[in-house]
Amino acid sequence: MTAVEAEAREAGRDFIRDIVQADIDAGRVVWPVTRFPPEPNGYLHIGHAKSIALNFGVAEEFGGRCHLRFDDTNPTKEEQEYIDAIEADLKWLGFDWGKHLYHASDYFDQLYHWAEHLIRHRLAYVDDQSPEEMRASRGTLTEPGRDSPFRERGVKENLDLFRRMKAGEFPNGARVLRAKIDMASPNMNLRDPALYRILHATHPRTGDKWCIYPTYDFAHGQSDAIEGITHSICTLEFEDHRPLYDWLIEHLPVPSRPRQYEFARLNLTYTVMSKRFLKNLVDEGRVAGWDDPRMPTISGLRRRGVPAAAIRNFAKSVGVARANSVVDVGMFEHAVRDELNRIAVRRMAVLRPLKLVIENYPEAQSEELDAVNHPDDPDAGTRKLPFGRELYIERDDFMEDPPKNFFRLAPGREVRLRYAYFVTCREAVKNAAGEVTELRCTYDPLTKGGDAPDGRKVRGTIHWVSVAHSVPAEVRLYNPLFSRPDPGAGGDLMADLNPDSLEVLTGCRLEPALIADNDGAAVQFERLGYFCRDSDSAPGKPVFNRTIGLRDSYARRAAGA
């Protein structure tokens, strides 16, 4: 390990990394083997990114490896589309599982044999009770459960019934295989938990080979053991499952002894991170799909223009703790702005155009002005910005009757046009309805690209594009998907959806360079925010997404409230 690596690790210390270090120091492991175990029943979201960064991060920092394992034990909810999307999202995020791609379904044969092993050791039995009966006899947190009437079945009968379950003789729900642990345990997970269920369903990978499927609890730890996982890192809701995890590892002839560690899941204000709920949004058409730029999914964030590095940096900055908490979404936005400010080239665009005519600029004339691509990065170079007699400026950069602190354009007021000249507003032309439709101005040719030779100052600088050279575009502005910081706290998540989460602007105008660079990279529209081209763009019909504004809108909202 280099000094730099040592320092980085020290800085990124947390209780999981301390455990791994202690295991290495004590010789319990040579290097850590971790896994990221998504269930392919939806797309990955920003919460998963925390788990991904932790599992892959620990493996990389300690010279170990991280597996990608699909937890595909429920064929009724899982689809190939999700598997493909999860792999694509992981790669885009910058994580690499190399050749270590696995599926819980790879182990169905082994898991089945281990189930028979438990039966033979009188540690599992087939229960004929209905799901309702089983629920009723499970007890509560304060009352012990009652033993099933089938609990003392002999080994022979259990084996016979289990094999017939496997052979497809019984309908869904008719029987389950349960571990024989303790119906009076204070831990509900130890009250004879289900290990196998009957489910007549075609599996994306194993087809119709199986009509019984292992439960999460039976599949997960054993899959860890098969793969030689040393640190099985999961979220806190599995803490109560750990005694069962350990019980199964202890009672089965597994090839290794993984251990489970729990950390707090990521929660974000204004955000919901349940795959089930996100799927509802998609299925009910409340959003345009899993990759709708308002979604907290990795694919939604990508389409919105959030760089992978911003997600990685954010995951690092929230750290890893044992106590649940809610992170202010402003912290995520900060990471996004930080990265975009670094990488995004600057461009000019006008979202709500108002025409400005420079009366003393010659009719047929136009010129090209130099504009820098990135103020902090001279290597990013410059571009040519076409300028002419007719321009568009932002409608709200003009006020007919401005308050004292408004320094932009107003009748008789002089401002600087970014990279161009000083202009003075002479007249606001109005239509019959009294709306301003055009500004008549004059310019000072001596102020080109700089200050006035006579030393007079202007207080406002505004952006603009040329009428003749700019390109029309649609721009989509996004507001939070939820209208309250704690969606669902009132009991109904759907009711908390923000009706104004999407604002579509048409007739926006872009400087030509925005069409010329066709790489879909992040751009800053000066004074407006960070944007990226959306995949809905068609030739001649560009569509841009606003990734994020330049300033923290959540903080402003909170201050205004």
- Give residues 25-54 in contact with ligand ATP (rule: CB under 6 A): 37-39, 47-48, 50-51
For ligand ATP, give the closer residue by CB, 265 or 440.
265
Do residues 385 and 370 lie in contact, with contact meaning Cβ atoms separated by under 8 Å?
A: yes
Pairing of strands 353-358, 436-444: parallel
Residues in contact with 56: Cβ distance below 8 Å, sequence separation at least 6, in sequence order? 34, 36, 66, 95, 96
Instruction: Kindly state the smallest distance separating residue 392's Cβ from ligand ATP, in Å.
Output: 44
Q: Check binding of 487 to ligand ATP (CB under 6 A).
A: no
For ligand ATP, give the closer residue by CB, 37 or 300.
37
For ligand ATP, give the closer residue by CB, 213 or 421.
213
**Dist. CA 394–CA 402, nearest whole Å:** 15
Instruction: Kindly state the smallest distance separating residue 262's Cβ from ligand ATP, in Å.
Output: 9
Instruction: Kindly state the smallest distance separating residue 83's Cβ from ligand ATP, in Å.
Output: 11
Do residues 282 and 299 lie in contact, with contact meaning Cβ atoms separated by under 8 Å?
A: no
Among 85, 124, 266, 428, binds ligand ATP (CB under 6 A): 266
Q: Check binding of 275 to ligand ATP (CB under 6 A).
A: yes
Active-site residue identified among 9, 39, 355, 440: 39
- Write each residue from 436 to 455 as x if it is in contact with ligand ATP (CB under 6 A), else as -, in one continuous string: --------------------
Place of tokens 């898991």: 111
Using DSSP, state whether 127 is helix, strand or coil: strand
For ligand ATP, give the closer residue by CB, 48 or 304.
48
> How far separated are the first and last CA of the chain, in Å rounded?
50
Using DSSP, state whether 80 is helix, strand or coil: helix
- Give residues 50-109 in contact with ligand ATP (rule: CB under 6 A): 50-51
Do residues 102 and 69 lie in contact, with contact meaning Cβ atoms separated by under 8 Å?
A: yes
Instruction: Kindly state the smallest distance separating residue 158's Cβ from ligand ATP, in Å.
Output: 30
Whether 265 is catalytic is yes
Active-site residue identified among 35, 275, 304, 416: 275
**Dist. CA 3–CA 100, nearest whole Å:** 29
Instruction: Kindly state the smallest distance separating residue 273's Cβ from ligand ATP, in Å.
Output: 5
- Write each residue from 214 to 243 as x if it is in contact with ligand ATP (CB under 6 A), else as -, in one continuous string: --------------------xx--------
**Dist. CA 191–CA 185, nearest whole Å:** 6
E-strand ranges in 310-463 read 345-347, 349-350, 353-358, 366-372, 382-388, 390-394, 414-417, 422-430, 436-444, 461-462
For ligand ATP, give the closer residue by CB, 55 or 148.
55
Helix (H) or strand (E) holding 199: none
Among 138, 251, 265, 418, binds ligand ATP (CB under 6 A): 265
- Give residues 108-147 in contact with ligand ATP (rule: CB under 6 A): none
Torsion angle, CA of 478/483/488/489, rounded to 10 degrees?
Answer: 140
Residue nearest to ligand ATP (CB): 47
Starting from the edge strand earliest in sequence, which strands make up the sheet with 436-444, in order?
Answer: 461-462, 414-417, 422-430, 436-444, 353-358, 390-394, 464-466
Transcribe 182-197 into DSSP letters.
-TT-SSGGGSS-EEEE
Active-site residue identified among 9, 163, 257, 265: 265
**Dist. CA 182–CA 120, nearest whole Å:** 18
The DSSP secondary-structure symbol of 496 reads G
For ligand ATP, give the closer residue by CB, 104 or 522.
104
For ligand ATP, give the closer residue by CB, 127 or 217.
217
**Dist. CA 27–CA 550, nearest whole Å:** 50
Q: Which amino acid is at 203?
A: H
Instruction: Kindly state the smallest distance separating residue 295's Cβ from ligand ATP, in Å.
Output: 12
Q: Check binding of 180 to ligand ATP (CB under 6 A).
A: no
Whether 275 is catalytic is yes
Instruction: Kindly state the smallest distance separating residue 87's Cβ from ligand ATP, in Å.
Output: 13
**Dist. CA 413–CA 424, nearest whole Å:** 5
For ligand ATP, give the closer residue by CB, 46 or 477.
46
Whether 143 is catalytic is no
Helix (H) or strand (E) holding 555: helix 553-560
Task: Please give the size of the binding site for ligand ATP, defined by CB under 6 A.
Answer: 15
Stretch that binds ligand ATP, among 249-257, 271-279, 317-325, 469-477 (CB under 6 A): 271-279
The DSSP secondary-structure symbol of 288 reads S
Instruction: Kindly state the smallest distance separating residue 100's Cβ from ligand ATP, in Å.
Output: 16
Angle, in degrees to the nearest 10, between helices 308-318 and 329-343: 140
Instruction: Kindly state the smallest distance separating residue 115's Cβ from ligand ATP, in Å.
Output: 22
Among 273, 331, 436, 505, binds ligand ATP (CB under 6 A): 273
Stretch that binds ligand ATP, among 268-276, 297-305, 365-373, 496-504 (CB under 6 A): 268-276
Q: Which residues pair with 346 in a beta bridge?
A: 524
For ligand ATP, give the closer residue by CB, 50 or 242.
50
Stretch that binds ligand ATP, among 102-110, 151-159, 241-249, 266-274 (CB under 6 A): 266-274
Interface with ligand ATP by CB under 6 A: which residues? 37-39, 47-48, 50-51, 234-235, 265-266, 273-276
Residues recognised as catalytic = 39, 265, 275
